[in-house]
Structure 1
Amino acid sequence: MSNLLRIRRLAAVVARSVRASGGFKSAIHKASGLYRKEGFSGLRNRLRQRRDLSAETAKRNSYDEWVQRYDCIDDEQRVAIRQRLAAMPDKPLISVVMPTYNPKPEWLTEAIESVRNQLYPNWELCIADDVSTDPAIRPLLEQFAREDSRIKVVFREQNGHISAASNSALELAVGEWVALLDHDDLLPEHALYCVANAIIANPSARLIYSDEDKIDASGRRHDPYFKCDWNTDLFYSQNFFCHLGVYHKPLLDTVEGFRIGVEGSQDYDLVLRCIEHVGVDAVHHIPRVLYHWRVHAESTAGGADAKPYAALAGERALNEHFARQGVAGSVEWIGRGYYAHYSLPAPLPLVSLIIPTRNGLNLMRQCIDSIVGKTTYSNYEIIVVDNGSDDPEALRYFESLGQDARIRVLRDDRPFNYSALNNAAVSQARGELIGLINNDIEVISPDWLSEMVGIVLQPGVGAVGAKLLYPDDTLQHGGVVLGIGGVAGHANKLAPQPCYGYFGRTSLISSYSAVTAACLLVRKSVYLEVDGLNEQDLTIAFNDVDFCMRIREAGYRNVWTPFAELYHHESATRGFEDNPQKQARFRSEVMYMQRRWGDLLFKDPAYSPNLTLDHEDFSLAWPPRVEPLV
């Protein structure tokens, strides 16, 4: 067998197993490169390692086992919950609102029974049937209403679709709080107990949502969505709120319930209008699976394509929200979620791109050529911070940069201190916006800077980070998750492209607690407000994480976008922690971060306590870091 044929066969396996970017042709290229470096035995070993890693990852993500260990209620817990309920001084009445239209009778029965089986007793179930044509539905609902006085049913005289039916059910509700339940989905028995606890513990809350999973026809739970706390930018990208969604009834009265014309995304539109009234600080997240979303052909649990009209309704709801809020921009459905485009002002604000370097001729030439040659955003300056370069060719190149009026070179001969170099350059920057750029960055998407500027100018935004790829097209930076490795790690690092990430987060705009300063944009006023990078305690590592956390501490949110895409030839600048001095410095910076931020490093609001801090792939936490149920 020829070498080429053997490579092609192995490449086919590589393409299937790691979904190499660019498909089979890219897999051939990668397999050939490995063959040249390591031979066929090395190529087989790499493939075996990939398979072993995939198997290990699958084991870590065994949701069946996770549920058995951490999400099943036993008799002892039931007794403890009932004892706590008996001692609860105030049990808010929760109205469960359920519109129905031709559900399978057995699924409708299971949905209703899941409410009747709640450990929390103070509920009512408000059902509005939207003129179901199945003759089995009306007598079934009437029977339930006769058997349980807490179940109220209204039969509409004219079919009006889900918004109208939901409003009819809402008219029956007398509870202080309203929970939404679809006619074929299920609530676990402790769902309303957890909701009542959250209501009592968070008196300022007006909107509450939980985690969710899916359930198939055989009753098997799968595909859990362990959500982050409220995340404005992610919510503009997807409706993560919906299940289990709980609303303060007076707020629903204020916004006049569900809106006609956005059917399919009526709950998305409802939350958008609610937060316009009460603000995002009134939203509370319960990090537990309190909703089982049934998967079938007509359900959006089976994929957005099941109800394409719902995606278009969500697009309309978001655009009308932007218009009401005075946001200059538009939102479009992109198949895996929504993409918020923010308009740029006129005139364009000046962006100062700061690039520290020592020598690094080839990297710098590549970096600056890609910025100057590809960037469509026109109003920027580049500040090269020359940190003691002594390579004659590099020095000649830096001198030549002065021929471009947009580029300045600042000489700074102090010992390498990344934080200090950037802080000093910011003091001389003319721009309203500051871009921190590593010298090993290379532009991919021409609109990268326009994308980041549009986001950073939005009210409440602090730092904005970009999607960075390694030269082999695997993901280097998709946002920073706190707590991984004791301080922080990069979300989905090394994932092959295309990478959509956990519930699409690597393909959608989203807030994170931190983003990397390898490519970071921030308003100069915010940079100065938080005193820039920490040049005393964090000279090299974690200065960007600390910087972003101080930005959050000051009341801003940090945003990551996949629509600004660049290569990052990581560690070409400063190398690895490969000698005792560097390792000691790194340890001291880890210790500083842990002293400065303490438990906040392990309670990342942009990440779920049900997900791991041992890996960067959003796999399950064993055990989860949630408070005990009782």
Structure 2
Amino acid sequence: MKLYRDSRGGFSERTQVLLGIAGHRGEIECVCFMPLGLRRLRLDPTEHAGPFSLGCLSITSLGLADQFILTLRGIYRRTRHRLSPLYWQLRGVANRPLLQPYQRIVDYRDWVNSVEPTEDDCDRMAMKAAKEEGPTFSIVMPVYNPELAQLIEAIASVMAQTYPHWELCICDDASTEPDVWTQISELAEREPRLKVQRHVVNGGIARASSAALTSATGDYIAFLDQDDTLARWALDRMARALRQFPEAALLYSDEDKIDENGQRCEPHFKPAWNPDLLHSINYFGHMLVVRRDVVEAVGGFRAGFDGSQDYDLVLRCVDAIRPDQIVHVPGVLYHWRKSHGSTAQVLGAKAGAHPSGIAALSEHMAPIGAHVSDGPFPTSYRVRYPMPSPAPLVSIMIPTRDGGDALERCIDSILRRTLYPAYEILIIDNQCADPRTLSLLSRYQLDRRVRVISYDAPFNFSAVNNLGAKEAIGDVLLMLNDDVEVLTGDWLNEMVPRLYQPGVGAVGAKLMYPDGRIQHAGVILGVGGVAGHSHKYYPRHHLGYFGRLVLPQTVSAVTGACLLVKKADYLALGGLDEVNLAVAFNDVDFCLRLAERKLRTVWTPYAELLHFESLSRGQEDTPEKRLRFAAEVQYMKTRWRDLLLHDRSYNPCLTLEHEDLSLSLEAPHYLQLDAR
């Protein structure tokens, strides 16, 4: 539930107030500041079907004292990202509070001015491109009764490209507004690179796109909606990416939106190729470029998938090419207009789009027997993969040292809630001496599903798990901390089938603090120097950055507090690194070594656990622990130096200072970014 305020620049995500989140039950009371000059308020009650009611709403004028306090607070919020590092450096990192704000507010317009090409840069690009040969881009645009000014702006954005080797293929799908075809025809007479045709009878967006595609003669096909615009340097950046990756067959860029007042907002900075995210949502979005022979080979657009015709096309294209032929071009190259009836304005605005997307993904998943259903929000999907038959035995390895009540909570939650039929619990006793814990171990050994083995040496998380792997009977290993609690009964039913998908090496789960805030939603490389947890401290039911907190996705690593892996893969890698990474980062290192063997790591939000973090081993609060931690940090920086700065599941325009996926204040200029 969001409240939007318009005081001068129209409605935008930058000025929205989050009133409530999905899954909340009961009343919400919220006091929020309304700026002077307030013109309009807009309430978006929900992005899902469901009842709600609005109670008392009052707007009260503030006195001078309250205005002064709020002004000071606003100044602090705008400057704290600069002051906070210095403050906590002076106080010491150990004093940093657990509660941190999520999603720093960075003025997107100011940020754009610091990273995007200037007019002078564009003029230089145009002069250079005019002298060079390069691929030709055929831009496909289906048209039906657009707002004329927006259509003209869309076409003008193509004609203004710094890259000259393009053609714009337009099909007017029998627009009933006569000025539409008149305007298109007049522009085509002045610009020979415009190829236009007109349907007599409206056939839908898929048919119109197919018709426009028949006019294409370029090497690559790009797609543009009738009311959207391209950045002036969009095709130049794509051509540059093709020089970097000449075998690329599918390329996509980052994007943002244009609000009702013509202001750019809501930038979406995407990861590199992420197959699991694509099976959750069409994150490719715009700008999309596909090699023409690939489009033709898969049959182009198909009837019956209107609204999701592009998703249907890309799913068939990725099946026809290699993963290394899919290239992400960082930087906003496409501006998606939030016009009335557009899904840029309201998710699910096009009624037929979501069923068409489910149909396309279901057909894509049919060969492996996966079932596709609605995802957590409109335009998203959930894939349930088939369970291997018979279900493999999972050995749940739980190291403990005097875990006591935490260990009991962990084990009992597994035994009481787990629906998966085949598992054993392997408790690894690391020099337990507490009578309470010893009594628990004796009691659990009476359960046929539980075994206890001894590790009689100083704590070494890697060595403890390596011992567990040798003793485990199961074909699948689950590293699990003794300070977690299982919340969802089908957690292993979700994780195990994902592990058995081609190319998957590890699977991780969604972990939360006891107060419900997110503790782990996948690892981001480079945060804080080595790695951090995505979306840390977000509310449990928050959608996250463009849905990333509620959608399964490929990540660079997951935490060893809950990490599922096949025993054969674990042993082939030699297990965790017990020499260089006894305590910290061994899980990250393990996932990166899996990636070296072409095995990816997947994080899923559909397996949920509470994590009472570091109850068993404590914090890095002694000189010996700090020295060991510093050595582990240095090892990671030496071993994985390049990857730590270029996480393919992240984006170079997002911050490495925090775990909130906010804009990077040190983001490189777009022209310095390479495709990946």
Task: Specify whether residues 55 and 349 from structure 1 end up closer, same or farther in structure 2 by C-alpha distance, changes over 3 A only.
Answer: farther
CA distance, structure 1, for counterparts of residue 73 and residue 443 of structure 2: 47
Q: Deviations over 1:488-531 (max 9, x none)?
A: 00011011232211000001111110000101111111112222
Alignment-derived partner of residue 450 in structure 1: 493
Q: Secondary structure at the match of 1:622?
A: coil
Which of 145, 151, 154 is the matching residue for 2:188?
A: 145
Q: 2: distance between equivalents of 1:350 and 1:618?
A: 37
Taking a change above 3 Å as real, the CA distance of residues 540 and 508 of structure 1, as seen in their structure-2 partners, is same
Query: What is the rounded CA distance, in whole Å, between the counterparts of 1:628 and 1:157 in structure 2?
Result: 44
Aligned partner of residue 466 in structure 2, secondary structure: helix
1:377 paired to 2:417: no
Whether 1:64 and 2:106 are equivalent positions in the alignment is no
**How many residues end up aligned between the 2 structures?**
595
Could you tell me which residue of structure 2 aligns to residue 39 of structure 1?
A: none
Q: TM-score, normalised by structure 2?
A: 0.85
Q: Please give the alpha-carbon distance, in whole angstroms, between the structure 1 residues aligned to 2:634 and 2:19.
A: 39
Query: 1:430 maps to what in 2?
Result: 473
Displacement of 1:60 in angstroms is 4.1
Name the SS of the counterpart of 1:196 in structure 2: helix
Q: Which residues of 2 match residues 399-414 of structure 1 at below 5 A?
A: 399-414=442-457
CA drift of 1:570 comes to 0.3
**What residue in structure 1 maps to residue 254 of structure 2?**
211
What does residue 196 of structure 1 align with? 239
Aligned residue for 1:166, secondary structure, equals helix
For residues 25 and 137 of structure 1, the distance between their equivalents in structure 2, rounded to whole angstroms, comes to 49
Q: Is the 8 A contact 2:116 2:669 kept in 1?
A: no
- What is the CA–CA distance in structure 2 between the aligned matches of 1:379 and 1:308, rounded to whole Å? 42
Partner deviation per Cα, 1:420-477 (whole Å, 9 max, x = no partner)? 0100110111111100000001011111111111211111111111000100111100
Secondary structure of 1:304's counterpart equals coil
For residues 15-57 of structure 1, what are the alpha-carbon distances to aligned partners after superposition, in whole Å with 9 as ceiling and x for unaligned?
A: 97786985668999xxxxxxxxxxxxxxxx9xx9999669956
Counterpart-to-counterpart distance in 1, 2:580 and 2:265: 45
1:519 aligns with 2:584: no
Paired position in structure 2 for 1:275: 318
Query: 1:326 aligns to what?
Result: 368
Q: Is the 8 A contact 1:21 1:496 kept in 2?
A: no
Q: How does 1:152-163 map to 2 (within 5 A)?
A: 152-163=195-206
The Cα of 1:486 is off from its aligned counterpart by 0.1
Q: Distance in 1 between matches of 2:586 and 2:496?
A: 22
Distance in 1 (alpha carbons) for counterparts of 2:356 and 2:204: 13
Q: Which residue of 2 aligns with 1:561?
A: 604
Of 612, 617, 620, which residue of structure 2 is paired with 1:574?
Answer: 617
Distance in 2 (alpha carbons) for counterparts of 1:394 and 1:296: 62
Asked if 1 retains the 8 angstrom alpha-carbon contact of 2:78 and 2:105, the reply is no
Q: How does 1:143-542 map to 2 (within 5 A)?
A: 143-323=186-366, 325-336=367-378, 337-542=380-585
Q: Does 1:610 align with 2:653?
A: yes
Does structure 2 conserve the Cα–Cα contact (< 8 Å) formed by 1:352 and 1:382?
Answer: yes
Q: Is residue 104–residue 660 contact of structure 2 (8 Å, CA) maintained in 1?
A: no
- Matched-pair contact (CA < 8 Å) for 1:469–1:568: yes
**Whole-Å separation in 2 of the counterparts to 1:313 and 1:432:** 38
Q: Secondary structure at the match of 1:301?
A: coil
Q: SS of 1:256's equivalent? A: coil
SS at match of 1:506: coil
2: CA distance, partners of 1:16 / 1:507: 17
SS of equivalent to 2:303: coil
Contact kept in structure 1, 2:505 and 2:566, CA below 8 Å: yes
Supply the AA of the counterpart residue of 1:494: Y
Percent of aligned pairs sharing the same letter: 45
Among 564, 583, 601, which residue is 2:626 paired with?
A: 583
1:71 alignment partner AA: E
- 2:137 maps to 1:74: no
**Matched residue SS, 1:599:** helix
- Structure 1 counterpart of 2:128: 84
Which residue does the alignment assign to 2:36? none
Q: Distance in 1 between matches of 2:18 and 2:122?
A: 47
Distance in 2 separating the partners of 1:16 and 1:599? 37
Contact 1:70 1:623 (C-alpha < 8 Å) held by counterparts: no
1:136 match: secondary structure:
helix
DSSP 3-state at the match of 2:256 = strand
Q: Deviations over 1:101-153 (max 9, x none)?
A: 00011111000010000010111110011000011111111101101111010
Counterpart of 1:466, as a letter, is A
CA shift for structure 1 position 281: 2.0
CA distance in 2, matches of 1:355, 1:51: 48
Change (3 A) 1:625 1:141: same
CA RMSD in angstroms comes to 2.3
Give the equivalent residue in structure 1 for 2:99.
none
1:327, CA displacement in angstroms? 4.3
Alpha-carbon distance between aligned partners in 2 of 1:234 and 1:385, rounded to the nearest angstrom? 35
Distance change >3 Å, CA 251–CA 293, structure 1 → 2: same
Q: Distance in 1 between matches of 2:28 and 2:476?
A: 38
Given residue 368 of structure 1, which amino acid in structure 2 is its aligned partner?
Answer: I
Shift of 1:78: 2.4
Asked if 2 retains the 8 angstrom alpha-carbon contact of 1:610 and 1:624, the reply is yes
TM, length-normalised to structure 1: 0.91
Which residue, 156, 159, 184 being the options, matches 1:113?
A: 156
Q: Is 1:546 aligned to residue 586 of structure 2?
A: no
Map Cα deviations across residues 367-401 of structure 1 (whole Å, 9 max, x no partner).
00000000010100000000011122321221221
How far the C-alpha of 1:58 sits from its partner, in A, is: 6.8
Partner of 1:93: 136
Give the Cα separation in 2 of the matches to 1:105 and 1:246: 26
Match for residue 84 of structure 2? none
Contact kept? 2:525, 2:644, Cα under 8 Å:
yes
Question: Which whole-Å deviations, capped at 9, do the CAs of 1:258-316 have from their partners, x for residues lacking one?
Answer: 01111100000100001111132211110010100010121111122211311111111
| C-alpha distance in structure 1 between counterparts of 2:351 and 2:508, whole Å | 31
